[in-house]
Amino acid sequence: MTPAALPSLPLAAQPLTPGLYIVATPIGNLGDITLRALAVLRGAALVACEDTRVTGRLLNHFGIKARLQRLDDHAPAEVRARVIDEARGAPVALASDAGTPLVSDPGFRLVREARAAGVPVIAVPGPCAAIAALTIAGLPSDRFLFAGFLPPRDGARRAVLEELSGVAASLVFYETAPRLLKSLQAIAALWPGREVAVARELTKLHEECRSGSAAALAEHYAAHPPRGEIVLIVGPPAAQEAPAPGAHADSAPDTDALLRAALAHAGPGKAAGKVARATGLDRAALYARALELKGE
Ligand code: SAM
């Protein structure tokens, strides 16, 4: 949608009251900006943002001129204090690079301190990748736990997953393309019976949402390395009662799929070692199976 095509609502003409406005912005498709987000960004005395170049480009696209202030979670306390002080007497917006501020994005400290200082904090909701993914994944959405990014290191990743094992809810993670395969392998080793969804490039040209067992998805993404931005959702433990397509009915790890995924990047020895570490299964037996699979 172009700015010219936007209907002019009385809303846009209303003066904004002072306060800190937390403004969600598109996660890919600029048509997802809300009318209220545009009105607030247009009317704000100051727009605090993660990266002034990124937000500057967005504002430019919509023909909005604004005073920008860089403010990420590393910003000194004085910068936050100045922004909060300004929000006492004028509308101040906070935006992140994409989506909803504070959701794996900066803003928590600013909001907490603004509230403590008695400055009104006003939500201007809109796009959020976690919620968008949940709405299309076909996994239980009545209870979900947003867990942000998984740690990049194997041990730490596994520890976080183990900690979440007993949570009776869908688990929503943000993920990066280079790390997706390792996360899927770790999930396959720990929860072979759960259904998993990978939502990629939401609202963009190459949007896709693929679901199945973690092992089957690992096999797919080993053969087709993913690109772009990713949300990973793991169904709740109850899904183990009805094994997902591709998972073994006895809930044993789908070791063949894990080995195939590992073999896409390594020889039988390394692949067996990797799967042994992820599953705790016997390395020698895995090595023998890896040789068989390699020869198929
Ligand atoms: N605050 C943002 C939100 O509300 O979704 C998230 C910011 S976080 C720094 C960026 C991560 O969000 C990406 O690494 C990816 O996991 C997810 N993400 C953002 N845009 C996405 C998209 N269009 N499709 C899939 N995932 C996306």
* Residue located via tokens 């073994």: 248
DSSP string for 162-197: HHHTT--SEEEEEEEHHHHHHHHHHHHHH-TTSEEE
The string of pLDDT tens digits covering residues 55-91 is 999 999 999 999 999 999 889 999 999 999 999 999 9
Kindly report which listed range (150-154, 207-211, 236-240) carries the lowest average pLDDT score. 236-240
202 lines ligand 1 (CB under 6 A): yes
Q: How far apart are CA 141 and CA 233, in angstroms?
A: 10
Q: Is residue 197 within 8 Å of 139, Cβ to Cβ?
A: yes
Ligand 1 centre and the CA of 24: distance in Å? Answer: 12
* Widest pairwise Cα distance in the chain: 72
DSSP conformational letter for 99: B
Counting from 1 in the atom list of ligand 1, the atom nearest the Cα of 127 is 4
Give the residue whose CA is nearest to atom 13 of ligand 1. Answer: 229
The DSSP string of 231-289 is EEEE--GGGGGSPPTTS-TT----HHHHHHHHHTTS-HHHHHHHHHHHH---HHHHHHH
Choose which residue among 29, 229, 232, 233 to substitute to test ligand 1 binding: the one with the highest number of ligand atoms within 8 A of its C-beta. Answer: 229
Q: Ligand 1: which of 173, 209, 231, 232 to mutate, most ligand atoms within 8 Å of CB?
A: 231
Closest atom, ligand 1, to C-alpha of 200: 25
pTM recorded for the entire structure: 0.81
CA of 165 to the centre of ligand 1 (A): 24
User: What does the pLDDT look like over 217-255, one tens digit per residue?
Assistant: 999 999 999 999 999 999 999 633 344 334 443 344 567
Contact status, residue 286 vs residue 257, Cβ threshold 8 Å: no
